[in-house]
Amino acid sequence: MIRWKRSWPDLPEDLPLDVLPASNGEFVPPAPTPEQKAVMELQNEGIEYWRRKFNMSRRDFVRTAAAMAIGFWALETVTVKGARAHNTDTTAASDLEWDDEDFMSDFWLGNKPGEFIFDVQSHHVESDGMWRVTNPGFEAFFAAIWSQAGPLGGRPEVREDGSIRGFGAGEIDPIENLSRFHYMKELFLDSATTMTVLSAVPAAPDITQPLPMDRAVLTAETVNNLAGSPRTVLHAFVMPNRGSAGSTASLLGQEPVFMQREFEIMEQRAAQWKGLIRGWKTYPAWGDIPYASGWFFDDELVGQRFIDHVRDVAVRYGVPPNIATHKGFALPAFDQRAASPRDIGPAASRNPDVNFIVYHSGYDGGGMGAYPGDAHVSSADRSVDSFVKSLRENSWSATSARATVEGFGTVPGVRWANVRNVYAEIGSTWRSNMSAPRNAHLLGKLINHVGPKRIAWGTDSLWFGSPQSEIAALRVTRHEQAPEVWDSYGLPHAIDGDADNPLIDTRDGSNYPDGKPHPERSIRNWIFGRAAAEVYRVDADKHLYDRQHLKTALDTSPTAGVAEIKPDEVQKLRDAYIVNQYTPKEQVPFASNQIIGPRTPRELFKMRSEGPWAP
Amino acid sequence: MGTVIKRIALIGIIATLAAPGLASAEPAWYHPGAPYRVGPAGGDSEATMVEADPATGELRAVQYQVAGVSGSLGCVGEGPYVMFDVTHDAGETAIDQVTVTYDPAIVSPYTFMKLSVLHGDTSVDPEAPYEFVDTIDVRGPILGAGELTLELPEAVSGVLTARFGLEVTSNCPGLDGGQVTFTGVGFGS
């Protein structure tokens, strides 16, 4: 058991669920709403009440599963007016019932039955890489943008006792907070994540890349060697517009200078790291000329030739024909017009044998309501609705027979089909929309228009630290939080519905021939990992670590098959690291519990004025 | 066989051969005026402008956001768009392509000229149920006269609506847009 020692850096005592406005550096944080203040106040009261009952210090208690449960209880009490986590007669924090395993399991790090969490959007940087010399703008960008590496968590200092405290998450070198070490800690120890895709950021050639390809391979091999099974796979960044004279140049037939070189690099990487590379990451809004070098997938000269090459490499090297593409958030210097998901519909419909995994699902901040109708949406904007519109207008949505795979909904107008080759990834989008009723609108419209088996779990971690609160938020998402909204999407069981037929409740065993509940069939568990597992060619069932699965396997077959599901070294590390596992006092001893980004306009502008800021 | 009978037979054969061909080969054309209706239009209330005149077939969509930074610092959120709708009842005739003609067009590089075909009738209720058959869009720059043709993935019959116009990507700072006179729309095969 790991205990905090006095000589170690101070751990913050922040609440586990922080709902107050925070900026990632790209926008002015709004003033906190009365609702947000109420959530924090209620959460604080509950935590103070229960930490005394548990006879724990605040520092220890805020890192427990019970504290996380109190956070979500407070959120629901304020926003939904009908919180769970208590008996049916009262709503007071003092009535929280800690001996309910079904309730507590939402907040433990152990996986729930059928739960395979596959985070397909994770990042870290090589903290001592050449890029810090060759691409200094990126370092300033990280320092300014990502809370983990920002200076707002406190400047380095030497305390009176001689101990040293660093930036952000505690490192003297702030970029170190985004390093391989923190990646492995935050993803595999501080959260219930089972498997990751280590993705890339936009920079080429590789010498300017914050995570050069061979360094990404080192991370994957470190994780996989430790685990004894593939826990981390990779994207390779491709920039087909490298050397472009601007977006409009391609319209004049001018090929980007280094496009062929990029294609050659794809082949080299495919040959060298065939088993690890499972997709190609693109940022169509990123180019050599800031604000002007974007490209589109339906552009014949750049986009279609890149797609053709992905197909060719898939045939020749066996790399899955997966295009992971950033659509939505328009970061500084991005040619934001090419961050629009407008081109997904036409490109996907013309290339049905290539998969398009749409990162952020087109979201660029702002509200989240019902799809307002085709007449009120432009696919050329950046929003989830624009993404939906792009699919719809190209007859390539989940309600179009032309676009869909077999199963429910192969007839036009019938719901619950799945678009053949388009996946909606929800990294950062989920984080911005995980309280009711926004969560219901986000997931409801994606389930309806892209498909219940076409939502891919991503979190953008490590940028925002551990994804555990996002995982807990999906676990607690249910129909009662916003019944009218879920019903409006035809989802009477919300994401507890069966992914093949959402009208069936997977929690009710009477719906199945074997008379048992089937959580592994739920839309929630398809979102968590099973959807992405298909496209990234991973066998989800061989990566299950939930207690029930282990118990069942051991009961039914004491020897056969156990090796496949035996907890690997990564799991053993996590189990050893967690204190009081599977109890209300389950504690993640070094959880950072902090959002360090600017919380007010004054903090934002102070941050901007104190350092260079350029991508 | 008498001459008259031969002529009648010949005319009959020609009519038989030609009738289906004529039905599918001759597009039904519509021009500005009553068949044109203003379809979907929108965009941010600030820094965008859309106009459409069904009588002349002329429409324009412009975004003039000159301040702000990409992302959320004062940047425009919704680019302008404006469309015409023209509905055609094809009956039993199979339609497999729709064409719009324009003269003139002035369209900037980040503006899209777009043509969608909807299986359904929006002439009475713009929100009436329909299915998108397909869409094509062409990115600017576009100058002068021309045509945009959408070949449908499969032939369709019944009531169809062609929806065509301009869509401008949201952007800041940016000055984008276009003005087009759509001179006609044809449904045919």
In DSSP notation, chain B reads --HHHHHHHHHHHHHHHHHHHHHHHS-EEE-SSTT-EEEEEE--SSSEEEEEETTTTEEEEEEEE-S--SSSSS---S--EEEEEEEEE-TT--EEEEEEEEEEEEE-TTEEEEEEEEES--SS-TTS--EEEEEEEEESPEEEEEEEEEEEEEEE-SEEEEEEEEEE---SSEEEEEEEEEEEEEEE-
CATH number of the domain residue B174 falls in: 2.60.120
Q: Evaluate whether A525 touches A453 at the Cβ level (below 8 Å).
A: no
Structure tokens at A279: 């997709």
φ, ψ at A358 (rounded to 5°): -90, 105
The average pLDDT across A519-539 equals 94
Asked whether residue B30 carries a pLDDT value surpassing 70, the answer given is yes
Contact criterion met (CB < 8 Å) for B170 and A340? yes
For residue B163, give its domain range.
26-188
Which of B71, B75, B133 is the closest to A395 by Cβ?
A: B133
Q: Kindly report which listed range (A46-50, A422-426, A503-507, B171-175) carries the lowest average pLDDT score.
A: B171-175
CA distances from A301 to A250, A295, A321, A338, A351 (A): 6, 10, 19, 15, 15
Partner A contacted by B133 (CB < 8 A): yes
Q: Evaluate whether B64 touches B50 at the Cβ level (below 8 Å).
A: no
Partner B contacted by A395 (CB < 8 A): yes
Q: How far is B183 from chain A (nearest CA, A)?
A: 23
Q: How confident is the model at residue A253 (pLDDT cuts 50, 70, 90)?
A: confident
Q: How confident is the model at residue A410 (pLDDT cuts 50, 70, 90)?
A: very low
Q: Which residue of A has its CA nearest to B39?
A: A375
Which of B70, B81, B132 is the closest to A336 by Cβ?
A: B70
Number of compact structural domains in chain B: 1
φ, ψ at B164 (rounded to 5°): -145, 150
Per the document, the length of chain B is: 189
Q: Which residue of B has its CA nearest to A399?
A: B131
Which of A251, A380, A413 is the closest to B109 by Cβ?
A: A251
Q: Evaluate whether A103 touches A83 at the Cβ level (below 8 Å).
A: no
Partner B contacted by A380 (CB < 8 A): yes
Q: Which residue of B has its CA nearest to A380?
A: B169
- Angstrom distance (rounded) from CA B117 to CA B97: 9
Q: What residues are paired with B186 via a beta bridge?
A: B29, B99
Structure tokens at A16: 């586990």
- Angstrom distance (rounded) from CA A610 to CA A613: 9
A155 vs A259, more confident: A259
Structure tokens at A527: 């979102």
| Structure-token match 């425009």, residue found | B76
Contact criterion met (CB < 8 Å) for B170 and A382? yes
A372 vs B1, more confident: A372
- Angstrom distance (rounded) from CA A424 to CA A410: 19
List chain A residues with CB under 8 Å of B134.
394-395
Residue B16 belongs to a domain: no
List chain B residues with CB under 8 Å of A393.
116, 132, 135
Which of A248, A330, A381 is the closest to B70 by Cβ?
A: A330
B36-76 pLDDT, tens digit per residue, is: 999 999 998 778 999 999 999 999 999 987 766 554 555 66
Contact criterion met (CB < 8 Å) for B70 and A331? yes
List chain A residues with CB under 8 Å of B137.
342, 346
CATH number of A118-126+179-543: 3.20.20.140
Residue B3 belongs to a domain: no
Which of the residues A250, A335, A364, A381 would you substitute to probe the B interface, choosing the one with the greatest number of B C-beta atoms within 10 Å? A381
Residue B39 belongs to a domain: yes
- How many other CB atoms are there within 10 angstroms of residue B138's CB atom? 14
B112 vs A601, more confident: B112
Per the document, the length of chain A is: 615
- pTM to 2 decimals? 0.87
Q: How confident is the model at residue A209 (pLDDT cuts 50, 70, 90)?
A: confident
Q: Evaluate whether B141 touches B176 at the Cβ level (below 8 Å).
A: no
List chain B residues with CB under 8 Å of A297.
none
- Angstrom distance (rounded) from CA A355 to CA B174: 32
Domain-wise residue ranges, chain A = 1-109+135-167+578-615, 118-126+179-543
Residue B154 belongs to a domain: yes
Find, among B164, B183, B173, B133, the residue nearest to A394 by Cα: B133
- Angstrom distance (rounded) from CA A525 to CA A520: 6
A172-187 pLDDT, tens digit per residue, is: 666 777 788 888 888 8
Q: How confident is the model at residue A561 (pLDDT cuts 50, 70, 90)?
A: very low
Q: Which one-letter DSSP state was computed for residue A167? A: B
- Angstrom distance (rounded) from CA B26 to CA B185: 13
Q: How confident is the model at residue B121 (pLDDT cuts 50, 70, 90)?
A: confident
Asked whether residue A308 carries a pLDDT value surpassing 70, the answer given is yes
